[in-house]
Structure 1
C-alpha cells in the first residue's frame, strides 16, 4: 500500500472515531447524569516508641516488631521512630442518573495515593469502583468495594490509617453482592475474588491461589436494624489452591478451605456511638489480620503438599462521644489458637509467632466546617513466642509500642 493511501485511511479512521465520540457524548448528555467530586486532603504525623510491623512506610501499623538482640544484648528494634505522610489523600467521583430497570443507579470511582504495594507508595491506587442498583427491597453491587467482613455500617471510628486492623478486616475486592430487605431484616449474599489484598503462599501474596481454585469467596450476612441498634452476623467461606506444580515438576491441585464467623453490634444516639465486633476466623491474611495457613504434610518424592489453616479469635469495641469536639476510645484483642492440624513448620501467615495481641487507643478530634484536627495515642502489645507442632505459641514475652498520631484533614465537595 502506498504511503499516501495509508495516510488517507488513517485520517478517515480518526474522523470516524471523532464522529463516534461526538454521537456518544450527545447520547450521554441526554441521560442527564450528575457528577459529584468529593474527597479530602489528609496529613499524618506520628512518633513510635520502637520499630513496628507496618506497611506504606509504617503509616499502616500492625503491631511492634519482636525484640532482636545484637552481640551486646541490645534490642536492635528499640528506639524512637517518626515519619510524616499525606498518601491517603482521597478523590471520589460519584455519578447518578435516570432510573435503569426501575432501579436507582449510582456509579462510583475512588482512589488515593497509597499505591498497590509498599514499592508503589505515592502511586495512584484504585480503592473502589462499582455500579450500584437499588430497588424498593433489593440492591445489587457490581465492581470493587469493601469485603463484606469490613461492614461499612460497623467499623472502628479511629484516626489511624489501619482503621482498627489487625483486629478489624481491612480489605477491598472485586465482587458481586446482592441484598434483599425483609422489613427491618436484610440478607446479603456476595461472591468475591481477590486482587490487591490477596492470600499468602509459595509465590508470596498473590491472587492466583484463588484463581486456580476456580471458586470465588462466598459470604452470607444478616442485618437487623431496630430503633438505634444494628445487629449482625455473617459466615464467610473460601477455597484457595496454594500450588499448581511442585519443585519436582509434579502437577498438584490440593485445596485449602477456610471458614470464618462474625457477629457485630452498633448503637448510636445523638452524640454517642457504641460499637462491637467479634470474629472467629481461619486464614485471614488477606484481610490484614493475624493468621494464614501452614503446610500439614509434604511428599518427599513428589513435593505434593497438604495444608491446614490457622484459627484466630478477634474482638474489638469502641465508644465515641461529641460533635465539634469528639472523644473516642478503641480497644482490640486477638488470640492465636494454632492450626487445625499438626504442621511441618512451614507457614504462610502473618504473626505465626504471636500468641495474643491487644490495643488501646484513646483519641480526640476537633471539627470546624471542612477542617478536622485530631490526635490519637495507640498502645499496641504483642506476646511473641515459639509455635509448637500445631501452631500454638509457647514461652511468650510481651513487647509493646506507643504511637502518638497527629492528623489534619480538609474535606471538599463539588456538586
Structure 2
C-alpha cells in the first residue's frame, strides 16, 4: 500500500511538472525562470518519492508528450529488477508492455531542466526536444554564459569514456580562449583590430567599443585554474589542451606559472628526465618548439638536463639504470634546426646564436655524462663477472 501511494504521488507530481513545461513554452521570458524553478522542485519531489519505493518498483508510467528527457526511445519493458526472479510477481509482469519512467530518467530530466533554468537567468532560451541525444550546443551555451558548474554537471551526467574526455577538451579550450584578450581582435569588424593598452585597468580593441576590464581577465584565469585542478584527474591531457589553445591563439602569451607547474609536478622524480604522465615536461617542451617559444624551450630542456646531472650519490644507481631516463631528443634536434634556420635567415641572430650555444653546451655535457655512466656500468659488469669466475674456479 505504501509503495503504491508513493508511486502515485510521484506520478501526480511529475504530471504537474510536465504541465509546467508546456505552459512555459507559451509564456514570455520574464516568467520562464520562475516556472522552471517550480518545475525543478516538482522533479526533485518526484525523485525523492520514488526513492522511498523498493528499487524493483521505483518507476512511473510514461505520460506521452509530457516527458522531455533524452532517450533514444521509450522502449516497452518491465520495471527494473534489483532482486532475482523471486521478486518478480504478477504485478511487474502485467506492466511489461507499458512504457515507464525510472529514477535515472527523472534525474536526467532534472539535470537538463537545471541547465535550461540557468540559461534562462542569462536570457538565453534553450529547450531540449527529448527525441535525440543531448546536443553539445547546450554545453556551448552554458560556457558562453559562464555557467561552468552546470556545464560540467551536464557533461558528467551524459558522457562517459572517450566522449567525456572529448567534451572536457571542448570546454577547456573555450575557457582558455576567454583568457586571451587578443582573441577579441579576430571577432571585431573593421580594418583596425589591434589590441591596445589604454590604461592599467582596461584593454581596448581599436575599431570596437568593447572594453575588457583587467579584473575580468583575472577572474577568467582564476576560474580556469580552479576547474583545471578539479578535472585534470579525469583527463590528464587537459593541461596540454589549455596550453596549446593559449599558444595557438596568441603565440606571444606568457603561460601562467600554475599551468607550467602542472606539467612539471606530475613527475615522480625530476632526475629521470622529462618523461611522466600525458601532461609532462616533454609535452610542454614540444609545445614551446611548435609555437616558436625557443628561449622557454631551451631553458626548460637545460633545467632537466642539469637536474639529471646533479643527482645525489644516494640516487646514483637510478641514473645508471638502462632506459630509466628519457629526453625528447627528436624535438631537441628540431629546435636545433630551427635555430640554425633563423640564424641563416638573419633573424634574431644574437638571441638564436646564444640559445644555440646554450643548447650545444647542455647537450655536450649530458652526452659526456651518459658515456661515463655507460662505462661505469660496463666496468661494474666486467668486475662482477671476473669475481664470479674466481668463485666458480675455487669451487671446482
**Structure with more of its chain in helix, by fraction:** 2
**Structure with more of its chain in strand, by fraction:** 1
Give the number of the structure with larger relative contact order, counting CA–CA contacts within 8 Å between residues 6 or more apart.
1
Task: Give the TM-score normalised by structure 1.
Answer: 0.27
Larger Rg: 2
Task: Give the TM-score normalised by structure 2.
Answer: 0.28
